[in-house]
Structure 1
Amino acid sequence: MRKDVDNMKLNPRDQQIFAAVMSMYCNGDGLPVPSTKIAKQKGMAVCSATVRNAMARLEKIGLLYSPHTSAGRVPTNDGFDYWFDEFFTLNDIANYWQPEQAELVELAHGLSQRYQVCCCVGLPQVRTQQVFRVEVLDFDANNWLILLLDRAGQSHNICINKPDDPSDGQRYEFATWLNTVFSQQTLIEGLYRMQAMANTAPRNCHDSLTQWTLELSQKLGSDNSIVVGENYLYKKIDCEQSLNIGVSFLNFVEDKLAFKNGVSILSAENLPFSTCDDLIVITVPYFQNQEYQSRFCVICPKSAQLEKIIQEFKLLEPSSS
C-alpha cells in the first residue's frame, strides 16, 4: 500500500487530519482516534463528516485502518513511515552529538521516567578517551591506585600491586613515567606506548607494570551499556518472552544503521524481537572528538509520546567541541 502514498501528495486538509490522528494516537494510550475528537480539536475548523471523509481517503491509501466497525482509526506501519518521512527532519536532529558519560546516564533516566519508556545506551568506548593527567595514589597497604584523568576530570581507575619496599619517592617516579607515556594520548595509544617503553619504566615497578598492562588491555576490550525502564516496556506490550536488551541489541542497531547520523527510527519488522510487533526504536549515535562511540536508543510501544521524545533530541547540543 505504501506505493499509493509515494505516488500521490496529500492535500493540506488531509495532511492536517492525518497529523492530528498521529498526535492523538501517540499519547501513551494508543487508542483508536474517532472523527468527533479530531473535529473538536482546537484550530481544526471542520465538521465530523469532513474528517470521516478524509479518514476514509487515508485508509484507502494505507495510512490508517479501523480495528473495529464504527471505531476510530489507528495508524498502519506505512502510516508511521509516512509520518516520520514527511513531518520530521530526522537526519538534522542531534547531528554529531558529543555528550559526556554523565549526560548520557542522566538523559536515559530522565526520558525513561518522563515518558515511561526503556532506554538502552552504549557507554563511551574508553579506548578513545584522551588522557590529560595520570596520578598514582597510596590506596592501602598492598595497592597503589592509578587515576587516568581526562580534561573534564573523569577518570579510569585501576589498582595495582605495590612493588617491593614501596616509598613515596618511587610512587612519584612511577607517576612521572606514566604521565610521559599517557599525556595527550588516547587510552589505547597510551597502552601501546606503555608496552613499547616498558624498559624505560622504574625498575622496581616492572612487575606492577606487567599486571597493570594486562588489566588495562582487558578493560579496553570490554563493551558496556546501561538499560533503564525495562519494567515500563513489559507493562505496555504483549510479549511472550523477555527481550534481550543490552550490548547485543546495540550491536544489532549499529549494524542496521551503519554510517547513518542524526535520529533514526526502527519499526518492529526491523528489530530482532520476533514476538513483539508493537515496538518502535528511536535512536541517535553519539561521538567524541568526531569519532563514533555508540548509540542512545529509546525502545517503546508505537503509542508512546513519540513527538515529545523526538523533541527532547532536538534540544541536544549537536557538538561540544
Structure 2
Amino acid sequence: MKLTARDQQIFSAVMSLYCNGEGHPVASSKIAKQKGMAVCSATVRNAMARLEREGLLYSPHTSAGRVPTDSGLKYWLDEYFALAQIANYWQPEQNQLIEFAHNLSQKFNVCCCVGLPQASSQLVFRVEVLAFDSSSWLVLLIDRAGQSQNICINKPKDDSDQHRYLFAAWMNTVFSQQTLIEGLHRMRAMAHSAPENCREQLAQWTRELHHQLGTDNSIVVGERYLYQGLDIETELNIGVSFLHQVEDKLAFKNGLSVVLGTELSTLNVKQSVVLSVPYFQKGEYQSRFCVICPSNAPIEAIITQFSQITPLGA
C-alpha cells in the first residue's frame, strides 16, 4: 500500500489519538491542532477521505470523525513498528512471566494470557517416592533448584516400604540428570530392569506420568478488563486452546506479533487485538505471552513495555 508522506503522518496521528484507552472517533479539526502538523482541517479531511478509500479508516456515522478498520489497525502495527525486533528470543524465568503479566494488566487494564513453561524440559536432579495415602504413591521429580513436579500414581498390589524404596532407586537411575521427557522415554526402554513387583503397573505409571507432565497449562490475568473494554457478555475461551490458535497463526514468528481477534475462533471479537511474544528457556521454545485488549487500548505504551525487554545476547 502506497501512502504519501502527508497521508502517513495523518494516519499515524489518527491511530495515536484513537488508541489512547478511550477510542473516540478522531475529527479532522483535532488532527489539524496537533503539534507539528502544519496543515488545515480541509487538508486533513481530504487525507482522511483517501485513507477511507484505501480501507484503513471509516466513519461510524454521518459527520463523525474517523476510526481505524481492522485492516487499518493491522497496517499501523505492521508498518509503523519494528515488531519483529522487539523482545527477540525472550528468556524469562517463570516468576518474571507472571510478574510482567500482572504489571501490564494493572497498568493498562488489559487481559494477559500466558502459557506456562513446558514441564517436559525440566532437568531432574533426584526422584523421591512417598507413601501418599492408602491407594497412592506420590512421585516427586525434583530439579537442582528444589522445584518439583509432584504426581500421584496407584500403589502396586504388593506394597511395602522396601518395594517403594527399590522403585525410588530405580526411578533415580532412570531420571537423574535427564529432562522429564527423556526420563519418560527411558522408563519404557529400561522397563526390564525395574523392580519385579512394579513391572505389572509400570506401563500404566508411565502413561500417567506422560499425561500429567504433558498437560499444557496457562494463567489468565485481568480477564474482567477484556469483558468491560469490549462490552461483551458471552464467555470467551481464553486459555490453552486460545494459545494453541495463536501459536498456529504465528508459527515460527519471533519477536512481537499482532493478531486480530476476528482471526481467532476462540476469541472472534471485533475491534480486539492480540499482541504476542514467544519465550524460550535455554534456547528452546516454551510458549507465548499474549496481551488481549480492545483496539482503542494504549497499544503504543504496551509495545514500549515489551521493547524494554533485553534480547538474548544483548
Q: Report TM bin, short chain.
A: 0.7 to 0.9
The change in CA–CA distance for 1:204 and 1:268 in structure 2 (over 3 A counts) is closer
* Equivalent residue number for residue 288 of structure 2: 295
* Equivalent residue number for residue 9 of structure 1: 3
Deviation, structure 1 residue 188:
1.4
Once the two structures are superposed, the pairs formed by residues 151-300 of structure 1 within 5 Å of their partners are 151-159=144-152, 161=155, 164-166=159-161, 175-201=168-194, 212-239=205-232, 241-272=234-265, 276-300=269-293
The change in CA–CA distance for 1:274 and 1:283 in structure 2 (over 3 A counts) is closer
Aligned Cα root-mean-square deviation (Å):
3.2
Deviation larger for 196-205 or 258-267: 196-205
Please state if 1:313 is matched with 2:303: no
Deviation, structure 1 residue 83:
0.7
Secondary structure in 2 matching 1:231: helix
Secondary structure in 2 matching 1:121: strand
2:8 partner amino acid: Q
The question of whether the paired residues in 2 share the 8 Å contact of 1:241 and 1:275 is answered with no
* Equivalent residue number for residue 101 of structure 1: 94
Secondary structure in 2 matching 1:295: strand
1:283 partner amino acid: S
Counterpart-to-counterpart distance in 1, 2:134 and 2:237 = 42
Unaligned 5+ runs, structure 1: 1-5
The change in CA–CA distance for 1:152 and 1:312 in structure 2 (over 3 A counts) is farther
Counterpart-to-counterpart distance in 1, 2:203 and 2:267 = 47
The question of whether the paired residues in 1 share the 8 Å contact of 2:115 and 2:240 is answered with yes
Counterpart-to-counterpart distance in 1, 2:44 and 2:260 = 28
Q: 2:103 aligns with which of 101, 110, 118?
A: 110
Deviation, structure 1 residue 54:
3.3
The question of whether the paired residues in 1 share the 8 Å contact of 2:227 and 2:233 is answered with no
Please state if 1:147 is matched with 2:140: yes
Secondary structure in 2 matching 1:157: strand
The question of whether the paired residues in 1 share the 8 Å contact of 2:262 and 2:269 is answered with no
Q: 2:73 aligns with which of 62, 80, 90?
A: 80
Once the two structures are superposed, the pairs formed by residues 54-73 of structure 1 within 5 Å of their partners are 54-73=47-66
The change in CA–CA distance for 1:103 and 1:152 in structure 2 (over 3 A counts) is farther
* Equivalent residue number for residue 117 of structure 2: 124
- TM-score normalised over the length of structure 2: 0.83
Counterpart-to-counterpart distance in 1, 2:200 and 2:98 = 37
The change in CA–CA distance for 1:159 and 1:268 in structure 2 (over 3 A counts) is closer
Identity of aligned residues (%): 65
Secondary structure in 1 matching 2:236: coil
Counterpart-to-counterpart distance in 1, 2:213 and 2:141 = 13
Deviation larger for 261-270 or 205-214: 205-214
Deviation, structure 1 residue 298:
1.6
Counterpart-to-counterpart distance in 1, 2:191 and 2:310 = 41
Deviation larger for 126-135 or 153-162: 153-162
Counterpart-to-counterpart distance in 2, 1:100 and 1:173 = 35
The change in CA–CA distance for 1:60 and 1:204 in structure 2 (over 3 A counts) is closer
Deviation, structure 1 residue 178:
3.0
The question of whether the paired residues in 2 share the 8 Å contact of 1:98 and 1:320 is answered with no
Counterpart-to-counterpart distance in 1, 2:125 and 2:234 = 46
Deviation larger for 19-28 or 55-64: 55-64
The question of whether the paired residues in 1 share the 8 Å contact of 2:114 and 2:220 is answered with yes
* Paired residues, number: 312
The change in CA–CA distance for 1:295 and 1:199 in structure 2 (over 3 A counts) is same
What are the superposed Cα offsets for residues 247-272 of structure 1, whole Å, 9 maximum, x if unpaired?
22222222222222222211243121
What are the superposed Cα offsets for residues 115-151 of structure 1, whole Å, 9 maximum, x if unpaired?
2222222222212222234345676898764332334
Counterpart-to-counterpart distance in 2, 1:66 and 1:165 = 75
The change in CA–CA distance for 1:222 and 1:43 in structure 2 (over 3 A counts) is same
What are the superposed Cα offsets for residues 153-203 of structure 1, whole Å, 9 maximum, x if unpaired?
432122455974426xx8776555433321221111101212332443456
The change in CA–CA distance for 1:42 and 1:173 in structure 2 (over 3 A counts) is farther
Deviation, structure 1 residue 301:
1.1
The change in CA–CA distance for 1:107 and 1:165 in structure 2 (over 3 A counts) is same
Secondary structure in 2 matching 1:217: helix
Deviation larger for 228-237 or 282-291: 282-291
Secondary structure in 1 matching 2:276: strand
The question of whether the paired residues in 1 share the 8 Å contact of 2:84 and 2:255 is answered with yes
Deviation larger for 132-141 or 117-126: 132-141
Counterpart-to-counterpart distance in 2, 1:112 and 1:149 = 32
Secondary structure in 1 matching 2:149: strand
* Equivalent residue number for residue 3 of structure 1: none
